[in-house]
Amino acid sequence: MSGRHARPDPVDDGTLDSLLVLVAESLGYSCHRAPGEVVILEGAKRLPVSMRDLRQLARLVPRDDWPALVSDHVTTIVTAMEEPLDLSDFDLAQHLLRTRIYPAEADNGVLAARPFAPGLIEVVVVDTPTSVRTVSTEEMNGWPVSGDALFMLGRANVRGDGPLQVDEQDLGGVRVSVLHGWTFYAVTHLAWLEEYLSIGPYGALVIAPNRSLIVAHPLRLNEGCPRARYRAAVAAANELQAQAHRAYEEGPGSLSPHLYWWRGGELTYLETRYEGDSLVLPEEFSSVLATLAAEH
């Protein structure tokens, strides 16, 4: 339901916020709000906690279990950053490195991070058997490999973990490819999407709503009429945009509710709008499609 008669979401009544403060203080941390739905824990480390992720997890368990849920969630974050982990020996540490995609708002200024797509960043993390923790720029600068080479190493390790599962599905009459897996690194695979799908010169419409999911629709645009090609792209964009919003709200590990255009390994944010009940694609996108169609 939506609108003024919608029922309030019980996870938004402030209880989770209060529990977070209590658990953080018991671990020696204070809390303050940051832009977006993020709370920063200040103490031995400076740690971001996504309230969106916490609410999504809370919806999955009875309310009586919320104290234990928050305690486990926050303790895991704190322990991951505070536990002794000797990263000075790069020959050993390099095998633990991965790159993981986060919302841009997660960047606290000290992460070994770089832009991945509008609204998203790629972050170097250490993946141990008990936790995943981010790498700081200070730690990165102490290694013999840094910058793009370090990100390439992290990507190579993600790739070495194995491929995602790919399912072909019908989404509101639009054929899409769903890439998914029980991994924090699914969206990193967008960097080599063309190895999963046959993508022509038009590229693909793509969403990455949460950490475990990619949905893609390669743009074939075989219709001879420009208007028919545009309608086909609009139909695909409409279904993907709706799916992006649903999966982003559901989570867990929400990343982006936006629609992207993947082409040649680059992701462009498609800022769609509605005129009445009709979705309208950006003029620049439509112009490029028309140009490509004329060339092919």
The pLDDT score that the predictor gives to residue 277 is: 78
The pLDDT score that the predictor gives to residue 275 is: 82
pTM, entire model: 0.82
**What is the chain's pLDDT, residue by residue, as a tens digit (296 residues)?**
344 444 456 677 889 999 999 999 999 999 998 877 889 999 988 888 888 889 988 988 999 999 999 999 898 888 877 776 778 889 888 999 999 999 998 887 889 999 999 999 999 999 987 778 889 898 898 899 988 999 999 999 999 999 999 999 999 889 999 999 989 999 999 999 999 999 988 899 999 999 999 999 998 766 566 677 777 888 899 999 999 999 999 888 899 999 999 998 899 999 888 888 777 888 888 777 777 666 55
Joined tokens for residue 264: 């040649």
The pLDDT score that the predictor gives to residue 259 is: 95
The pLDDT score that the predictor gives to residue 223 is: 58
The pLDDT score that the predictor gives to residue 2 is: 41
Closest listed residue to residue 41, CA positions, set 11, 6, 67, 17: 17
User: Rounded to whole angstroms, how far apart are CA atoms 164 and 176?
Assistant: 15
The pLDDT score that the predictor gives to residue 225 is: 67
The pLDDT score that the predictor gives to residue 92 is: 85
